[in-house]
Chains A and B, each alone.
Chain A
Amino acid sequence: MSLDLPKQWSDALNTVRGWARINSPWVIHFNSGSCNGCDIEILATLTPRYDIERFGIKLKGSPRHADVLICTGPVTRQARERLIRIYEQMPEPKFVIAVGSCGLSGGAFQGCYGVMNGIDQVIPVNAYVPGCPPRPEAIIDGVVKLLTSLQNPPTPDVAEPSPDQREVIT
């Protein structure tokens, strides 16, 4: 915000912004080489029994539309570049949730030559959901916990994206 608004105004604006962010998290899902177990559970959260649309969570295809990256898998060497790219394509403010034991630490695949042993080795992670695979309820809980944690601290200013973040997606 370049405009100099009175304090109450900008506070009110921030409240509205925070409210909207908490109530409308759009999610993008990336599988960095997991066994699919977590991925089908993430997909299951969309379906009638769990229905994450109740919380305003929507699964989006384009990283440009997303606020939260839900990432599964131990990050294989091949998927590493892609993961970073997707993370960089997301507009600020953005959050990352690591889902599944292997996304946390490499899990069962720890030590295999093809994996990086966890998502936080590659990109910053805001929330961790353990389990092999976690139940859909646990995944929803993870997202909701992340969102409620945003409620308290003041909204950080939108960071100026670095030049490489403005590259074209091809």
Chain B
Amino acid sequence: MASTTIGKYILSILALLVFPGGLALIVVGLAYEWIDRKLLAQLQNRVGPRWFQPLADVVKLLAKEEIVPAGVNTYLFIGLPIFALAGGLTAALYVPLFGFAPSYGFPGDLIVTLYLLSLLTICMGLAGANTLDRFSVIGATRTLTQLFSYEAPFLLALLGPAVAARSWQIGQIAAYSSTRWLILVQPLGFLVAVVGLMGKLEIPPFDAPEAETEIVAGALTEYSGRGLALFQLAKGVEIVIGLTLISAFYLGGVANPLMFFVKTLALLLAVVGLQSLMTRLRIDQVVGLWWRYGVLLVLVQWLAMVIFQGAMS
């Protein structure tokens, strides 16, 4: 009895730290980051970085001196990147990564996962607000403003499949949608979810919070070394989880590793393609876009679904 409990604990820890969460997730996150950069470079007519580039970046940052600027709360400054990465890794436990069933699951874990994903954004916002540098502070206000604008539509867009599956548990929704391509019945929801993911990852056109030409590097301007590396890892993790969720919900599920990679990579390709075509939107335009069109689209989708389900029953 005791030995099985211990075995379970060991398995859990392995799941959390090595596979499918933790290490494996980080590696895939870095790989996806490379694919993102490489594809973007190719679309821009460039050669692009080498395959180990994100890894080298992270290792180098980890080895660098970390300067804690004067006047900041040191604990927050050091702790926030750790929280951000931990949030992302925890979220991974509830998601069908690499085509395997989620390591853990309970009714309502969808909501928890989404909020764990937002933790990264909130941590970045706090990290920016924590420093005295004004670029960071402006970056932080923009990060948080943007969070409030895309979060609701993104959430609603992911709840569409949940309502269709009549479950709030990611595992069950994924199982439900693995037999159906929900993108066909809920195209608007899919669209909002993909664009919402772009907002979440702060890639163009939603990169106002880190708009290089206006506010240097946004909330992370003051970070050097380790903090920056951890935030970068967290971002890689978020890419993978976000892509997984959308593929699992809308693209006919990710029942096995092959399907997982094919679908998430296809989605990544679409996101990069969109990104290379876009001009950065101003923060007020971002907010307007989401609340005027994003929410509206999702609500139309919901209405259609409710009517459809009513007619069916």
A interface residues, Cβ below 8 angstroms from B? 16-17, 19-21, 23-24, 26, 47-48, 51, 53-54, 56, 58, 60-62, 64-65, 67, 89, 91-93, 158, 161, 165-170
Contact = CB atoms under 8 A, between A and B. Distances in A.
B281 interface: no
Interface stretch (B6-14, B67-75, B154-162, B243-251): B67-75
B217 A65 contact: yes
B36 interface: no
Interface in B196-249: 212, 216-217, 220-225, 228
A54 B49 contact: yes
Given A47-B46, A48-B45, A158-B64, 17 more contacts: A16-B63, A17-B59, A23-B53, A24-B53, A53-B48, A54-B49, A56-B53, A61-B217, A62-B216, A64-B223, A64-B224, A65-B228, A67-B64, A91-B64, A91-B66, A93-B65, A170-B132
Contacts of B70: 166-168
B50 interface: yes
Nearest to A51: B46
User: Looking at A56, A58, A60, A93, which has the most chain B CB atoms within 10 Å of its CB?
Assistant: A56
Contact of A53 (B47, B71, B134): B47
A56 B57 contact: yes
B282 interface: no
Size band of the interface chain B makes with A: 35 or more
B217 A161 contact: no
A65 B48 contact: no
24 contacts: A17-B60, A17-B63, A19-B56, A20-B55, A23-B53, A24-B56, A53-B37, A53-B47, A56-B53, A56-B57, A61-B221, A62-B135, A62-B217, A64-B222, A65-B224, A65-B228, A91-B65, A92-B65, A165-B67, A166-B67, A166-B68, A167-B69, A168-B69, A170-B134
B270 to A, nearest CB: 22
Given A64-B221, A166-B70, A21 B132 contact: no
Nearest to A17: B63
Nearest to B59: A20
A75 to B, nearest CB: 22
A67 B135 CA distance: 20
A29 to B, nearest CB: 12
Contact of B56 (A20, A64, A89, A165): A20
Contacts of A92: 64-65
Contacts of B68: 166
A106 B235 CA distance: 44
Contacts of B53: 23-24, 56
Nearest to A88: B67
A167 B131 CA distance: 12
B133 interface: yes
Contacts of B41: 51, 53
A170 B137 CA distance: 12
